[in-house]
Amino acid sequence: MLVLIALVVIALDQLTKRAVQQNLALGEAILVFPPWEFVRIVHWANTGAAFGMFQGGNAVLIGLTVAITLAILIYYQTLPEGHLFQRICLGLMVGGSIGNLIDRLTLGYVVDFVAVGRFPVFNLADSCVTVSVILLLISMIVEERKTQSSPKSTDESMQAQQ
């Protein structure tokens, strides 16, 4: 499942980035809802990480991406079969990570293109990683709360009464 989800994310990410590269010059933007400038598609080259941090740190970011992706793949193997939602989230993370890694390795930067207000420009891969991390954290918190609030087993209840 992880591989299938990751491949879909990678394909969609690369297709959208190539469409932007082929139709807009670097720095050129189009309005999504003319005449409002709040949402734009802009061809942007990001040599850093999320939110414009670590500009020019491509080599470090490549190494970090590879390490994090490997950690996700190892963690995925430890998840019980019943944790479908968490498995989906990890597939989205891997797909997004690899989508941006492809750009870093082939172009030396990541193609970003979604501009909303003053928020930093981002892409589909960024969205998949960000949303999946948030959803994974929420699901882990929910799972932890379920575990803490579940009734004790009969043996534990009997031992507590003695």
What are the sequence ranges of the domains in the chain?
2-146
- The pLDDT of residue 52 is 66
- In the three-class reduction of DSSP (H, G, I as helix; E, B as strand; rest coil), residue 31 is classed as strand
The active-site residue out of 13, 103, 126, 155 is 126
Note the pLDDT tens digit of each residue in 116-155.
999 999 999 999 999 999 999 999 898 888 888 876 654 5
The active-site residue out of 13, 103, 112, 155 is 112
Based on the residue annotation, tell me whether 103 is a catalytic residue of this protein: no
51 pLDDT higher than 70? no
Amino acid at site 35: P
Read off the pTM.
0.85
Dihedral sign of CA atoms 119, 121, 124, 125 in order: negative
Average pLDDT over residues 85-114: 96
26 pLDDT higher than 70? yes
Contact (CB, 8 A) for 102 and 10 = yes
Helix (H) or strand (E) holding 38: strand 36-46
Average pLDDT over residues 53-60: 80
Based on the residue annotation, tell me whether 13 is a catalytic residue of this protein: no
Mean pLDDT lowest among 44-48, 51-55, 79-83, 125-129: 51-55
Exposure letters 74-97 (e unless 16+ CB within 10 A, then b): eebeeeeeebeebbbbbbbbbbbb
Count of other CB atoms within 10 angstroms of residue 5? 20
